[in-house]
Amino acid sequence: MSRRRSLVRAAVALLCVTALVALPGGPGDEPADAALPLVPGNPDTVEPGIPEAIQPKATVDNRTVDSAIGIGKDGNAYVWGRTGFGMNGVPTRSDPIGVAHRQTEWPVKVAGLPEGAIVALASGIYNFNALDAAGYVWGWGGYSATRDGTGTNRQGASDQSVPPARLRVGTAWNGSGPLLSGITAITGTEMAGAGIAADGTVYHWGLPAYGGPPSSVRGAARLGGLPDPSEPGNFPVYIKGGYRTFWLILESGDIWYWGGPNPYERPRAVGGGNGDYSGSNVTTARRSTVLNDWNRANSPSAHIVAIDSGINLGGALLSTGQVLTWGTSASRVGGRLPNSSSAATNRLARAPGVLPNMSNVVHLAYTFTGAAMVTADGRLYGYGDDSYECFPRWPDTTIFCGGGVRYPTVPAEIDTNVVDFSVGQGYVRWKKWVPDADAPDGYRFEAWGQGYNPRGAIGHDTGTVRTKRPIEFRHNGSRGEPCTEPRCDLTEVLR
C-alpha cells in the first residue's frame, strides 16, 4: 500500500463521523472502538486544562428536527423532544400519554431494542435506525416505515412503523428476505439510511429521492456502482448521509456519492457546469468528479477525510484541519467569498473552496442550512444563512432569528471548552466542561444547545433558541418546574 493510501485510511478511519462506530463481535463480545485524534496528523496534542479529549460521538448520526437521539451509558437508545408517533418505540395506540406529551418529554429509553447492545444510531426526520452489537440494523419511527427500511407499518397505518424491527434485504421486516447482518457503520439522510458491512459491501434503504433504492424495492438493497471492495484501495472507510446525498470515501481516498436531486448540495466544478449535480434520483453510486479532482490537485499536502451536506450547501474536512465549503451562493459557504449575488460569485460559491478563517478543525457536521465544527482546543463554531440555527451573522448586519429572514454568515465562535457536539436539522447541542471547585475533579460537564426547537429537542422552554443556553427539561413542559432527576440530565444519561 502506498504512503498516500495509508495516510488516507488512517485519517479517515479516525476522523470520520461514522467510522468510529463499534465493530460488532460475537454474542457477549465487547465492541472495539477506534481512538480519535485531536488534530489531523498530531493525535497527541491536548490543550492544557481541558479535562477530556474532543470526542465527537461518531456513534450517533442525528438528522431529526423535533427530536434528538443518543446512546445511554447503559448501552440503550434514548430519544427526547417529540417522542410520540412511535419514535419512542411504542405503538401509538398503546401509548396515548406519549402522544399527548410528545412535545414535552425528557429522555426516554426506546422500547423494543436489544437491551444494552446498541453501538450506533442514525436518524431521519422522524424515523430512526440502530445498529446492535451483533451487526443487525433496526428501524422504527413515525409516518413512513419505508424511510427506516422496515418497509411496511406493523399494526396498521395509524400505528406508524413501530415497534422496532430488524431490516431485511429485499423485503419488508415481515418478509422472507434475509436479515441485514454483519453491518459495522450506519448513517442517514432525511428519509433514507445506509450502512457498510464487514466485507465492504454497502447497503441502503428508504426513499429513492433521499438516497434509498428504487421505490420498487422493499427493505435494504445492496448499493450498485461501487468497485469491488476486495480489491486493494476499494474498501469503504467513511460513510455519511447529508440532506439528500450519501457520501462515501474508499481506502484509496476516492470519493463516491448517491442520492436525490438537489441543485447545490453536491458541488459544481470551478469552471461551471453541473459537476456532481443530477436532476434525477441517483440510486447507484457515482464517483465524484469535483471532489476527486480537488484531491488530485492538492494531494499530498491536503486531502479530504470527511464530508457532510445540508440543503444546497456542503463541506469537507481536510487532513490539514482546514475546511472546504460549497453552496448555492456566497451566503452559504461560510464567508469565504464577498457578500455578493453576482453570477461570478455564485459560480465560485458552488465549487469547493477553502475557508480562510478556520483551522485545526477535528469534526464538522451539517444541519438543514448551516454547519457546526469544533477545533482541537474545544472551540465550537457555526455558520448558516437563515433562521434555523440562529448562528452569528456577518459583522454590521442585523441579527434575526425565527422568521425565515436570511442573512449571510461567517463561522463564529459559539462556545468554548466543548468536548462533544451533535446537530439536528435546525439545532446544535454540545457537552462542555465547566470549572467547579466543589466537584471532585475540579470541573463538571454540562449539556448546552442553540437553534430551532419547536418540540424540546434542546430542552425547555420550547421555541427558537436565539443564543446558547444549558439544556434543561421541565415537568409538564415549558410551564412546569425544572426536572432535577438524573433521567433529565443528558450528561448523566448519555455516554
Predicted confidence (pLDDT) at residue 433 exceeds the cutoff of 80 = yes
Residue 90: its pLDDT value, please? 83
Q: Give the 3-state secondary structure of residue 408.
A: coil
Burial class (CB in 10 A: 0-12, 13-18, 19+), 280: exposed
Grade residue 162 by pLDDT with cuts at 50, 70 and 90.
low
Residue 49: its pLDDT value, please? 54
Cα–Cα dist 316/300, whole Å: 16
Predicted confidence (pLDDT) at residue 9 exceeds the cutoff of 60 = no
As given in the structure block, the three cell numbers for residue 220 are: 435494504
Cα–Cα dist 267/265, whole Å: 6
Mean pLDDT, to the nearest integer, of 410-426?
A: 91
283: phi then psi, degrees, rounded to nearest 5: -100, 0
Cα–Cα dist 251/16, whole Å: 13
Mean pLDDT, to the nearest integer, of 404-433?
A: 83
Q: Where does residue 148 fall: left (phi above 0), alpha (psi -120 to 50 degrees), or beta otherwise?
A: alpha
For 75-112, the DSSP string reads S-EEEEES-TTTTTSS-GGG-HHHHHTTTTEEEEEPTT
Element (H, E) at 296: helix 289-298
Residue 96: its pLDDT value, please? 53
Residue 23: its pLDDT value, please? 28
Residues in the chain: 495
CA atoms within 13 A on the CB side of 285: 25
Residue 122: its pLDDT value, please? 97
Grade residue 20 by pLDDT with cuts at 50, 70 and 90.
very low
Q: Which one has a higher pLDDT value, 410 or 242?
A: 242
Q: Which residues pair with 166 in a beta bridge?
A: 138
Predicted confidence (pLDDT) at residue 2 exceeds the cutoff of 60 = no
Q: Mean pLDDT, the chain, as a whole number? A: 83
Q: CATH code at 260?
A: 2.130.10.30
Under 8 Å between Cβ of 430 and 391: no
Mean pLDDT, to the nearest integer, of 122-142?
A: 95
CA atoms within 13 A on the CB side of 149: 38
Element (H, E) at 420: strand 418-423
Residue 104: its pLDDT value, please? 54
As given in the structure block, the three cell numbers for residue 79 are: 430519544
**CA quadruple 154, 159, 162, 168: dihedral sign:** positive
Question: Can you say how many angstroms the Cα of residue 295 is from the centroid of all Cα atoms in its chain?
Answer: 23
Residue 91: its pLDDT value, please? 72
Mean pLDDT, to the nearest integer, of 247-274?
A: 94
For 126-145, the DSSP string reads SEEEEEETTS-EEEEESS-H
Grade residue 403 by pLDDT with cuts at 50, 70 and 90.
very low
Grade residue 404 by pLDDT with cuts at 50, 70 and 90.
very low
Q: Give the 3-state secondary structure of residue 488.
A: helix
322: phi then psi, degrees, rounded to nearest 5: -90, 175
Domain, as residue range, for 191:
3-493
For 3-57, the DSSP string reads HHHHHHHHHHHHHSSSTTSPBP-STTPPPBPPP--SBTTBTT---TT-SS-----
Residue 93: its pLDDT value, please? 62
Non-local CB neighbours of 406 within 8 Å, separated by 6+ positions: 331, 385, 386, 387
Grade residue 394 by pLDDT with cuts at 50, 70 and 90.
low
Cα–Cα dist 209/192, whole Å: 9
Grade residue 476 by pLDDT with cuts at 50, 70 and 90.
confident
In the chain, pLDDT over 70 holds for what percent of residues? 80
**CA quadruple 317, 323, 329, 331: dihedral sign:** positive
CA atoms within 13 A on the CB side of 395: 1
Among 45-59, 231-245, 298-312, 447-461, the minimum mean pLDDT is found in: 45-59
Predicted confidence (pLDDT) at residue 47 exceeds the cutoff of 80 = no
Cα–Cα dist 132/398, whole Å: 47
For 226-289, the DSSP string reads PPPTTSTT-SEEEEEE-SSEEEEEETTS-EEEEE---TTTSPPBTTBS-TT--SS-EEEEEE-H
Non-local CB neighbours of 74 within 8 Å, separated by 6+ positions: 116
As given in the structure block, the three cell numbers for residue 114 are: 436489544
Predicted confidence (pLDDT) at residue 423 exceeds the cutoff of 80 = yes
pTM of the complete model: 0.88
Nearest C-alpha neighbor of 229 from the set 217, 237, 218, 241: 237
Among 45-59, 311-325, 365-379, 477-491, the minimum mean pLDDT is found in: 45-59
Among 66-75, 261-270, 405-414, the minimum mean pLDDT is found in: 405-414
148: phi then psi, degrees, rounded to nearest 5: -95, 5
Mean pLDDT, to the nearest integer, of 280-297?
A: 97
The domain total for the chain is: 1
Strand 370-375 vs strand 361-366: parallel, antiparallel, or unpaired?
A: antiparallel
pLDDT 10s digits, 333-378: 998 988 777 899 999 999 999 999 899 999 999 998 899 999 999 9
Q: What is the CA radius of gyration of the chain?
A: 21
Cα–Cα dist 377/422, whole Å: 17
Residue 348: its pLDDT value, please? 94
pLDDT 10s digits, 174-233: 999 999 999 999 999 999 999 999 999 999 999 999 999 999 999 999 999 999 999 999
Measured from the Cβ of residue 330, the count of other Cβ atoms closer than 10 Å reads 21
Element (H, E) at 353: strand 353-354
Do you find a cis peptide bond into 338, omega within 30 degrees of 0?
no
